[in-house]
Structure 1
Amino acid sequence: MIRSRAKTRLVFLQIGLLSWGVLLVGLLAFLWLRPQGQFALSQLPLISIAAWLAGIGLVAFLVAGLLSRKTRVYILFFVAVLLVLVNGLAYFGAYTLTHYNDSMLPGLAFAPKPENASNPAEFGLDYATERITINDEEWLEAWRIPYYGEPQGTVLLFPGNGGNKAHQLMWPAGIFHQMGYHTLMVDFRGQGGSSGTSATMGLREAEDVAAAMAHAEQIGLPRPYVLYGVSAGSVAVMKAVDDGLQPDATILEMPFAHFMNAVKTRMKAQDFPTAGVAELLVFWGSIQHGENGFFHNPVNYARSMSMPTLILQGEKDRWTTLEEIDAIYDNLPGAKELVIFPNTGHSLLVTVDETFWTQSVRDFLQAQGLAQPSS
């Protein structure tokens, strides 16, 4: 009986070693082949394969431990290893989700840094590239599009997570220009022509919003200042205001209300488990970036926004529910307006219905005395 038990334990140990050995060899092969362009990530379900191999190995080692004479010691060791593994995966997951093409871990599946593929000149607009210094090592790149007539003011535009000024801000900037505004299109750190390779979903980006508005004042761009943000860019605007920034108006397109809910919603969309995992991702992401993601709730920032605010939202946005948008709207203490785009998801809304978007923005600005009535 003892001999049979020992043989069974040996079999499970071999299964565990084989599973983790294959996982390790596969990881090393991936690290070696990926930088050489010989490995197409999209051709294999790598995450699923790795999860299965890791899971099989863990179960095999656990069963082998239960068959051991020192079961209690082995279980404690197994639990310790499991905790280290789970937290290690969460740390790595948080790192990959908030970094682009990072040289710290070359060859891994980081998303490419969102680079600008066009510029305003291609759309017939004069522009100047501005460099906004954050510190000795960090800066923001911005495009300033001047208005040569009598300006209505200045609109500062900020992109969403994974976007950049060329991809997400060109179209709305062109419309604001037609309305008679100077425009300043800004890449956050980690985007486009700005320094850095990371993003924080509106936390650190709030500092970039404040730096951009200070730059606009420094170079003499006229008031009123209207801050326009897309998705996480709108959240950065909200946090900047909560931190003390005072623009003359804000236009928030598709903000989220609670960061934790936003993480869970995106995980569910990718069929990942959320219970406990989302909290670990936010915890390790907070450690990495020196920010507290658990208190990153724009619905609370809204209480600080006494200036006129327009919210633009898609009716069928899968990332943020209308109930969450209503909660943000209800917390706004100043003049406010909410415009819902029917049958629309999480898309750049000006591209869905330019006429409706333009009229909604124009009506809001005119109602607040920030734009002259169109002739």
Structure 2
Amino acid sequence: MGQMSILTNDRHPLRAAIAMAVMFNLFTLIVFTASGYFRGPESLHESLVLGLPMMLIDGFLGFQLYHVLRWTTDLRPLLRWSIVTVAVLAIALIQAFWDTQLRIWADTLTMTLRQSYIRAATLNTYNSGMLAGLFAFQGAYMALQRNQALLGEARQREREAQMLALRFQLNPHFLFNTLNAISSLVVLRRTDEAESMIDRLSSFLRGSLAADPDRMVAVEDEFEMLDNYLDIESVRFGERLVTAIHLPYELARAQVPPFLLQPLVENAVKYAVAPSRTEVRVEIAARERDGRLELEVSDSGADSEGASAGTGVGLANVRERLRLSYGGDGQMQVDADGQGFRVTLTMPLRIAAAATEPPLTLAA
């Protein structure tokens, strides 16, 4: 963790490079001093006298490689690394001149001036090349982090756009069916029922437009919205539509994507209630199973098997919203046996807060 903080240093390139250079030169100074210690008292004294001024100037000169790497970032690789190589050699030669001159001033030369200069140039070429490599690695690592952050933000925006598109796909589909039903009531001169349906539609749409499509809602709020929707449809179908909603107290505040079940309930009404001449029961239920949340929408309509193929805005919409919200942790199971149709959604159980109201169990 400490090494990664040296590499990134809060993602500020200059601060991170300075930290890297300081650590590198401190390590070099420690090695230089330890080498003098093991060579004997005279060498240790030389290391102590020369080490700090040598590393200060050599470190300052070596740090210029950071600027060279930054200036050549946009060049072609061959040209860039040719320039960096020349810079490494030039800096190493300047460092060697300083190191040799320092030894002359301190009267610690143990070989000829030429030999001392060649030795210093060789060591500094190695050190400067290593420092340039560290700077390059640091820059690449930080660029990778920035790209990963941008990729994460882009994926989040894409997911939000997809969720919003799915939501916009639902609203016109629902509105078309509801307005068509109102139109039918008007044609049949059932004006009181049409007015009641319009009032309930207005209340339903107010809740729909206020909901954030990318924010989780409590199951109790989702079920209340579905109850309002079924109230609208009950005006249209009367006694042919019987509903039941079951929500255990402990699951009332479980979190789910908003309007997740609405397409399933709409399918039940469209494919089970609408074509039937007899009473059809539509049930909505929540339960916990193996530490996961299960939401179920079922109907007793024998003619509802056709819904299993999907309509493009029903099952497919729900399946895609599950994928966007939970990835592989969300599943949908569809069962049709000729006696009815059932869709079961399974997802992680996440409860925002303890429920404060009794469980929701409605029937009409």
Q: Whose Rg is larger?
A: 2
TM over 0.5: no
The structure with the largest helix share of the pair is 2
Instruction: Using structure 2 for the length normalisation, give the TM-score.
Output: 0.30
